[in-house]
Every structure is written in C-alpha cells, then in structure tokens.
Amino acid sequence: MKFPIAWRLGLILVLVGVLGVGLTGYFAYQASRDQLVKASEERLLTETRVLMRQVTVALKGIVADVRLLAQHPQAERILLHTNPGFQALAESNVAILFEGMMVVHPEYFQIRLIEAANYGKERIRVDRGMGDILRIASADLQEKGHYPYVFDTLQLAPGAVYISRASINHEAGAHAGEERPSLQVASPVYGANNKAIGVIVINVDLQGLFAQLAVDLPPELNLYLANVSGDFLIHPDPAHSFAFDRGQDAHVQEEFPDTVALLHSSGHRKNSVVTSKRDPSATTEAIVAAFIYQPLEGLEAEDEFILGLSQPLPSVLAQSERLAADTLRIVLSISALAILLAIILARALVRPLNQIVSEVRRFSTDGSIGVLPTARSDEIGELALSIELMEAQIHKQIEDMQEQQNKLDHMASHDSLTGLPNRRLFLERLDQALARAKRHEKQLALLFIDLDGFKVINDTHGHNAGDIVLQAVAQRLRGLLRETDTAARIGGDEFVVLIEDSCDNASIDSIVRKVQAGMSLPIQYQDIELVVGGSIGVARYPEDGTTASTLIAASDQAMYRCKVKK
Amino acid sequence: MFFQSALPKIFVGRKQLLLVAAFLLSFIALPVWAATPVLRVLAWPGYAEPEVVQSFEKRHGVRVEVTVITSDVSLWQKISMHNMDYDVFAVNVAELQRYITSNLVQPLQPEQIPNTHRQLVRFRNLAAIPGLVSGGKTFGIPFTYSEMGLIYDRKQVSAPPTSIAALWDTQYRGKVIAYDGGTHNFSLAAQKLKLKSPFHIAEADWQRVAENLIGMRRNVLGFYTQPEESAELFLRHKAALMFANYGMQQVHLLKNAGADIGYAIPKEGALTWLDCWVITRSVRDPELAHAWIDHLLGEQASRLLTERQGLASTMVESTATRPEDRLLWLQPPEDTGRREKLWGRIRSGDKLSRVMAP
C-alpha cells in the first residue's frame, strides 16, 4: 500500500489535533463536573445545616412550651390538691391551656400532666384525635410511672427538660399518636418542699415535625433522620424507618458507610459528612447525600439526631450533562477546524514538493527545467536550489561530453598532422558536392596534388622535416583556397582540392597557378630552406567523370601526366 | 509504517478475545461444579462458624451453603415458602410444632447421630422435652439453649432470690427491671401464682394473672426490649433485680461494665429457649443432613459455640446453672395473641377493668 506523504502528514496532523482537543475537552469536562458535584454537595450540606438549625429551633420551642407548663403554678396546685374545692376547675383550666397549645402546634400528639404518686397516674391528658382534640376522661387515664419520660424526668432539677429517644409509641389509647414515631419532651413539676411531684409531657409527632420543617425543601431532596446508633427514624423508604422496632436492621452506616464518622461509637467523631451512593441495581439512581450530627446543647436529650438530605445524582449532573454536550460540540468543531487546517498545511507543504517533482521529471524527459521555488528560505527552497545546482552541473557535463565528441569526430575525419580533412571526409564531401552539382547542373573541379621531391627531403632531413613540409603545404593550401573549396590530404604526400564555384577554365588555371607557385616557395626548416614543388592534375565534372572514383582517377592520371612532363 | 504501528492498538487484541472465550466457557463449566453435593443450611448467627463448615466440607467432600437467619419470622417465611431450597435448619423448640403441623419438616433418625451420646442426660431424653417428639417420631435434636434467670445486685440483695416472686417484692419497688414481652411475662405471672403450667393459663385464671402483671408493672422501674438497653437501665438507675430475658448475654454485658451482680435460677424453674436442628421435608440427601447435625454436636462446634457466642452447648453443664436447677423449655402458649394484646394494655398503664375489656 502506498500512502502519499500528504495523506500521512495530514492524518498525523489531524490525529494530533483531534487528540489534543479531545483530551483537553475531556479533562475540562471532568474538572467542571467535579466542581459541579462539589458545589451541589456544598449546597446540600448547607441545606442540611439550615434544616438542622430549624430542628434545633423547633426543639427549643417545644422545650420552652414544656418548661412553661411545668412551671405553671396551676400544675403544682393540681398535683398537691391544695384546694380540693377548685380541683376540677383547675384541671379544666389547665386542660384548656393544653388544648390551646395543641391547636397552635399541629406537631403535638399529646400533652399530659402526670403525677409522681399513684404509679405515675396521668392527671390531665389531651390527645390529638382524628382531626379533633380530645380531653381524656379520668376513667381512661393510665399509670405511666414505668416509662422513662416519667421516672427519668422526676430525677431532673427544676426547669430541666428531658427529651426521649425517638420511638414508635406503642402505648394503647394514645389516639393519633398510637403506633406513630414520637418524641417525648418532659419537665418535672416541683412542689413547695423542693420535691418533684409530677411531670409535664408533650408527645411530639416526629414525622409531622420534620414534614413541617422540610416543606420548603426542593422536591427532589429526600430527608433522612437517624439516631446516633444509626437506626433510621425517617427514610424515603418507609420500610427502613424504625426497622429496629420490628426486629429488623436498617442503619445509616450500612446505606452510607461514610456516616460511621458521625456515630457516637466513632473514635474521631465528625459533625458532617458528604457522601454518595451508587446503587449497583439499575432501578435506583445514584444519589449524593449530606449528613450532619449536631449536639443538642443545653437539652437533656436521651439521644441525638443525625440529619441527612439526599439528592439524586442525575439531577445534580443535569447541569454537567449540558456541559458535556457543550464540550462535545466545541471539541467537534475544533476538531473539524483541525482537520481543515491539517489539509491546508499538508497541501501547502506538498505543493512545492510536487512542483519540484514535476520539474525534475520534465528535466529527465526534455532536459530543461522550469521555475523552481528557489525563493523560499526554508528546506524546500534549499532543495530547489540544490536541484537547480545539480541541473547546472549536469548541463556542463553534457556540454563537455559534446565537445569531447566533436573532438573525436574531428579526429576521425581529419588528418592529425596537417589538420586537413582526411580521405574519408573528403569522399563524403565529394559525394555531397556531386549530388548538389547533379541537382543544380553545375560544374565542379578536382585538383590532385602530389609533392615533388618530398621523398628526398624525407630521406635526407628526416621525417620531422617531412612533417614540417607537409604542415607548411597544408597551411599554404588553406591560405590559397576560398572557403567554399575543400582541401584534403589523402595519402603520404598527396592532396586533393575540391572546387565547387567558378569552375571555368580560367579560374581553374588561375587556382592551379597560385597553388603551383605556393608549393614552390621555400620552407624554413631549422636553419635550412627546403624546396618542394607540386604536380597538379585537374579533373572536371561532368567532362572527366561523373562519380567520385572516376573523377579522382581522372585527376590522378592528369597529375601523373603532368609529373611525367617535368 | 505509521499505520502499522498505530492500528493494532485500536482493535481488540488476542488476549481480550481469550478472556471473553474463557468467560463464556465458564458458563458451560458451571454444571461440573454443581456436581459437588451441596448441603443447604439455615442457621442463626454463630451456629455454623467458618471452621466448623470447613471441617465438615473436608470430611464429606461436599459444599455447605449457610444462610444466616435473625428472626423467627424470616425463618418461617423461608421454610414455608422455599422449603425446596433448604436441607437442614435450626429452630426454637417452641416454634417447631407449627413446622410439624404444616408438614414442613420430617422425622429424623437419632441413631444416625452418634454424637447424641455425648450430650447431657437432660438432652438425651428427647421425649421429656415438649415439642421434639410428635406421634412417636423425633423431629429435632437439641443444640443450644439459654435460660432466663434473675440478675441481682449483690450489694442491694443480700441473698440470691430463690423465687420468681422477687419481681413483685415491694422492698425492691422502683428497683426492678422487667422485659417488655407479653408471652413471657404472662408465663412469669403464672409461675408466681403457681399455676399448673406457665404455658397454659386456664380461662378462670386470666384475670388473676393480669392483675398480677399490673402489680408487677407497679413494682418495676421500667421495661426493656434490647440487652444493651437493659444493662444501661440497670446501671444508670442502680437497679436491684432484673429479669434476664437474654440470660447469660446480659450477665456478660453487666459484668463487663463492672457491675457486681449475681445470677439466680428461681425454684419455679427458669423459662428456657432451646434450639434444635431439624431436617426439611424436601431434604436432598437425608444422610448428609444427619451427618451435619452429628458434626454440629461434635467437640469443635460445641467448643466454639461456648467460646465465641457464650451460648451453652448440650454437651457440658452451663456455668450459669447447676444440675439441680429446673429449666422450663419454652412451649407454644395457649394464645400468644391474647397474651400480647392484654400485655399491651397493661404496659400502657391501663387499670384491670380496661385490661380485661374485650
């Protein structure tokens, strides 16, 4: 498989870009989500704190009520029977007071005046019925001395208030409060002899109280209440509330293990815990919850409360879902941008490369090279420059080779001693001249020159002298002849001259005479003068022959005749 | 080249494929596992300690599935509705009768349980324990028990109380702590009145018994339901006497808290719950179930029961009781509902006429 560099480069750029954007988006989302969860946890904790404060305020209100009633002089008078004549009236007055309080406080199940004597006999009792408030007839009053809210309260100092554990009220005949979660708040009634002679008890509707306090909470929040042993008293699932009363277990530390730090058994007791629950079963959604333990200061409480609020995680995360969608959109659009940029970048890089490639390709086919991006100052510019340099070198080498070739060609067709065309070149030119003459019906003439006395010079003065003579002759021939004429050395001391223009006899004779005269001039060799002559034979086309060989043969014979004549 | 190095990481590797294959194979392999015989046991906390289960599995080459139960109600639900799922379970003798009547359990063969010979004489005479034998057939083997004696403060009570009537003794008024439970309290009042059986109150006796319970209510400081609650009440209010519904468990709690207390078994006899092992109607392997019961009566199981749970085994005399002490094995009372209803009124402070009202 072949992937162009543009592809690969583009892909890498895209991958790097998308990966960078994706990771940044992901971590940004994570961080924001954590912050959102944290913020909502803080909010939940604040809500729980506010609620706890309300609970404390509400309890203090109840405490104030109980204290007020316990210190009411009528209560003492009723218990001491100080005025038998007005006993019934006094009891009725107090009962009216109780009833009034019950009306004002819908969270009260019961208000009672109980005497210490007679096994804790109730003296006045007002119950909440089904929508009405009942004063219990004396025949139905019960003995309550064996209940902690009586026997523990009787031990308290004047004005002190007892708050019972939250429990299900199993006392028969308690009307609306029967079998309902209740809290007994009680205070002793003291007699003149500084002796506790009875107690005032208010039974508080635990659920009603918390329903009232929680009424302003956002609907998605769930309320939890537990005692400091962790037993649930209020739970969104009623099956978990007061499970201990049914011989079952449902503890806050089992459902929310972190809350163990709030329990009285904990070594390092904390005041608040924010925790979450991820239910393994898919049916229930995961929740975040805040729990608070706050000591009920200044109250004689048998037990204290752990209060909690929970919120389904999806509602917490709804905001972060939006954030996720936004992040995703941003990531996608930036990724698209990254892809676009990657393509542009890859193309920008690859275009000059492609240009170089196509120019190099053209160079290999037609030997020339076009415009290269040499103006660039980057690596591509350097590459272009190198290629241009290489191209120049290649050109120079080709020229050298051409020159070499020319030299070789020249050597193959010229006589190395005299520089005149050799026999082969001369025959070629003769053939060409003949063809031209035939086509244009022109004349041409051939001079055959043989040096006289050359052999003697060679023999007496050496070959070197002979060579000098030959070179001098050739030099003179070149000087005598016109450019259109061709002189060649075709043998040891044999030269031929081809005359194409002005082939009339007068011109030829003139040329022959000039050549003759030229040949006869002495030639300086070292300090002597050498003299040769030349026998010249002329052959004419078409008179003496029409082919190269017949013309040469004819001129040869004419030369020979001339030599013989001498 | 770029691709070659990057692509394999994107695709699922061979290793992952192998894992998936192994996971799928495990489903096919499961039935092979299940081929090991399984004994399905329902037991109360502490009855089947891990070591006991392991030694049984090792000896018999089986697997034991222990399900822990914590209430009579959940035990009844499991055995009555999912009888097929269990082989052997532990149940209070007083509860056993309804399992027999509903045909949920089956008779067992004591001769297949040789360790019964190691038991104390009072547990070997099965016919003498009401509820174990029905129609001449034995349905349960005693395993552990706890008596409900009287806890007293040695400083306030000079001589150990000898009779259950001590709960009514006015010299301890406001210093007595009793249990908030109708069934047992009616039995106690019946014992105090020397009725023929504390578990069967004759129609003519109900009023007397209720009146006595009002007397008891007037004599006590308060009532408790949980052991910890009882110990706290006892200590905080410096009580003199307490009816120990949870027996030795409360004695331990108080002694650990540093209380100087004694424990007495009244001459009328201490109400005593007794748990026994029984075999379900749909037991898969009766022999294995018998072997389990035998194993639980062995040295290891009995020792751990006493060491770890403080419960009495049926092998050695409990330190809480003397051989001459009378233990009254709990029996189903004549009418639990009536006892609880009347008790609810008594505890609420009603007078006799209202308690006895229809």
Instruction: Tell me, yes or no, whether B72 and B194 share the same domain.
Output: no
Residue ranges with strand state E in A402-544: 444-452, 486-489, 494-499, 523-525, 528-530, 533-541
Give catalytic residues of A, as residue numbers. 493
Surface-to-core class of residue B205, CB atoms within 10 Å of its CB (0-12 exposed, 13-18 middle, 19+ buried): middle
User: For residue B26, is it within any domain?
Assistant: no
Please, is A145 exposed, middle or buried when counting C-beta atoms within 10 Å of its C-beta (0-12, 13-18, 19+)?
buried
Quick check: A146 and B221 CB within 8 A? yes
Q: Are B90 and B99 in contact (CB under 8 A)?
A: no
Tokens of A129: 């019925």
Closest Cα in chain A, distance from residue B42 (Å): 18
Mutate to test the interface with B, among A14, A146, A147, A300 (most CBs of B within 10 A): A146
**Cβ neighbour number for residue B55 with a 10 Å cutoff:** 15
pLDDT in tens, chain A (566 residues): 466 777 788 888 888 888 988 898 889 888 888 888 888 888 899 999 999 999 889 999 999 999 999 999 999 989 988 777 888 899 999 999 999 999 999 999 999 999 999 999 999 999 999 989 999 999 999 999 999 999 999 999 999 999 999 999 999 999 999 999 999 999 999 988 889 999 999 999 999 999 888 888 888 889 999 998 899 999 988 888 988 887 667 889 888 888 988 887 767 788 899 888 766 555 556 888 999 998 877 677 888 899 999 988 777 777 778 888 888 898 899 889 888 988 888 888 888 888 888 888 888 887 777 788 888 888 888 888 898 888 889 889 999 999 999 999 888 888 888 888 988 899 998 999 999 888 988 888 999 998 888 888 888 888 888 898 899 888 888 888 888 888 999 888 889 999 887 778 888 888 888 888 888 888 888 888 888 888 899 998 888 888 888 999 999 999 998 888 77
**Distance from C-alpha of A472 to C-alpha of A474, rounded to nearest angstrom:** 5
Q: Which residue in A120, A145, A172 is closest to B344 by CB distance?
A: A172
Q: Which residues of A touch B351 (CB under 8 A)?
A: 142-143
**Number of domain units in chain B:** 2
Which chain B residues have a beta carbon less than 8 Å from that of A145? 218, 349
* Chain B residue numbers touching A3 (CB-CB < 8 A): 3
Rounded to the nearest angstrom, the minimum Cα separation between B281 and chain A is 28
Over chain B (358 residues), the average pLDDT of each successive run of 10 is: 36 50 51 72 89 95 88 84 92 92 94 93 88 92 93 94 96 95 94 95 96 97 90 95 91 91 94 94 95 95 85 83 85 90 95 93
- From A550, A427, A564, select the one nearest A490 (Cα to Cα): A427
Residue B165 lies in a domain: yes
Question: Given A8, A12, A142, which is nearest B350 (Cβ)?
Answer: A142
Q: Tell me the residue type at A57.
A: V
**Residues B219 and B253 both lie in one domain:** yes
Instruction: Name the residue facing B348 among A148, A171, A247 (closest C-beta).
Output: A171
Q: How far is CA A301 from CA A61, A156, A163, A258, A371, in A?
A: 15, 12, 4, 25, 98
Q: Which residues of B touch A249 (CB under 8 A)?
A: 70
CA B178 to chain A, closest CA, distance in angstroms equals 10
Dihedral of CA B121/B127/B130/B134: which sign?
Answer: positive
**Residues of chain B contacting residue A174, judged by C-beta atoms under 8 Å apart:** 348
The pLDDT score that the predictor gives to residue B26 is 52
- Please provide the DSSP assignment of A143-160 as one string: B-TTSHHHHTGGGSPTT-
- Pairing between strand A108-115 and B141-148? unpaired
Sign of CA dihedral A53, A59, A63, A64: positive
Nearest to B276 by CA among B95, B148, B122: B95
Alpha-carbon distance B348 to nearest alpha carbon in chain A (angstroms): 5
DSSP state of A200: E
CATH number of the domain residue B134 falls in: 3.40.190.10
Q: Is B107 contained in some domain?
A: yes
Residue B12 lies in a domain: no
Q: Do B121 and B76 belong together in one domain?
A: yes
> B222 to chain A: which residues are within 8 Å by CB?
146-148, 151
First to last CA, chain B: 95
- Determine the Cα–Cα distance for residues A196 and A79; give it in Å rounded to an integer: 10
Q: What is the DSSP string of B172-210?
A: GTT-EEEE--HHHHHHHHHHHTT-SBTTB--GGGHHHHH
Using CB atoms, pick whichever of A119, A142, A172 lies closest to residue B218: A119
User: A314-317 — which CB contacts under 8 Å span 24+ positions?
Assistant: A314/A285, A314/A286, A315/A220, A316/A36, A316/A37, A316/A40, A316/A288, A317/A33, A317/A36, A317/A37
Classify residue B84: in a domain, yes or no. Answer: yes
Q: Residue B288's domain spans which residues?
A: 38-144+274-321
Distance CA B74, CA A536 (A): 151
Question: B64-84 b/e with 16+ CB inside 10 Å = b?
Answer: beeeebeeeeebbebbeeebe
Residues B127 and B235 both lie in one domain? no
If asked whether residues B94 and B236 sit together in one domain, one would say no
Q: Round to whole Å and give the CA distance between A519 and A477.
A: 9
Clarify whether residues B174 and B199 are in a common domain: yes
- CB spacing of A146 vs B222 below 8 angstroms: yes
Report pLDDT for B1: 35
User: Which residues of chain A lie closer than 8 angstroms to B227, CB-CB?
Assistant: none
B156 and B136 inside one domain: no
Of A12, A142, A247, the CB nearest to B349: A142
Residues B185 and B313 in one domain: no
Backbone angles phi, psi at B221, to 5 degrees: -75, -50
Provide CB contacts within 8 A for B7, sequence distance 6+. none
User: B132 and B57 in one domain?
Assistant: yes
Q: What is the pTM of this model?
A: 0.67
Rounded CA separation A354/A4 (Å) = 11
Q: Is the Cβ pair A140, B354 closer than 8 Å?
A: yes
Same domain, B155 and B136: no
Same domain, B192 and B282: no
Give the residue from B94, B114, B105 showing the smallest Cα distance to B135. Answer: B105
Binding-site residues on chain A for chain B (CB distance < 8 A): 3, 8, 11-12, 119-120, 122, 140, 142-148, 151, 170-174, 247-249
Contacts of B109 (CB under 8 A, 6+ apart): B138, B290
User: DSSP assignment of A120-140, as one string?
Assistant: HBEEEEEEE-SSSEEEPPGGG
DSSP A421: B
Which residue is closest to B179 within chain A, CA to CA?
A146
C-alpha span between B141 and B20 (Å, rounded): 49
How close, in Å, is residue B218 to chain A by CA atoms?
6
Which among A148, A171, A248 is the nearest to B222, CB-wise? Answer: A148
Residues of B with CB under 8 A from a CB of A: 2-3, 70-71, 73, 174, 217-218, 220-223, 237, 344-345, 347-351, 354
B341 in the same domain as B242: yes
Question: Residues B269-298, buried b or exposed e (16+ Cβ, 10 A)?
Answer: bbbbbbbbbbbbeebeebebbbbbbbbbbb
Q: Is A535 helix (H, G, I), strand (E, B) or coil?
A: strand
User: In chain B, which residues have their Cβ closer than 8 Å to the Cβ of A8?
Assistant: 2
Contacts with B325 (C-beta within 8 Å, 6 or more apart), sequence order: B147, B265, B270
CA distance to B199, B201, B238, per residue, from B333 (Å): 4, 8, 33
Cβ of A247 and B71 within 8 Å?
A: yes
Asked, for residue B251, whether it belongs to a domain, the answer is yes
CA distances from B100 to A187, B142, B292 (A): 53, 16, 21
Give the pairing of strands B241-243 and B176-179. parallel
**Candidates A8, A146, A172; nearest CB to B350:** A172
Tell me the per-residue pLDDT of A378-415, one tens digit each, with 9 for 90 and over: 888 888 889 888 888 988 999 999 999 999 988 888 88
Question: How close does chain B come to A362, measured CA to CA in Å?
Answer: 30
Report how many Cβ contacts below 8 Å link chain A to chain B.
52
Chain B residues within 8 A of A247 when measuring between CB atoms = 71, 73
On whether the CB atoms of residues B93 and B330 are closer than 8 A, the answer is yes
Cα–Cα distance, B191 to B194 (Å, whole number) = 5
Nearest CA distance, A28 vs chain B (angstrom): 24
Q: Which of B2, B221, B237 lies closest to A8 in CB terms?
A: B2
Report which of A48, A10, A28 is spatially closest to residue A309, judged by C-alpha positions.
A48
What is the end-to-end Cα distance of chain A in Å, rounded?
Answer: 90
Give the number of other CB atoms < 10 A from CB of residue B107: 16
B113 part of a folded domain: yes
Q: Quick one: residue A400, left, alpha or beta (phi over 0 = left, psi -120 to 50 = alpha)? A: alpha
Alpha-carbon span B172 to B156, nearest angstrom = 9
Contact across the interface for A143 and B2, Cβ inside 8 Å? no
Coil, strand or helix at B116? helix
- Please tell me which residue of chain A has the smallest CA distance to B237: A152
**Distance between B128 CA and the closest CA of chain A, angstroms:** 32
B2 found inside a domain = no
Strands A196-205 and A108-115: antiparallel
Q: Which chain B residues touch A142 with a CB distance below 8 Å?
A: 348-351
Tell me how far apart the alpha carbons of residues B325 and B162 are, in angstroms, rounded to a whole number. 11
Res A281: pLDDT: 57
Query: Under an 8 A CB cutoff, do B348 and A247 touch?
Result: no
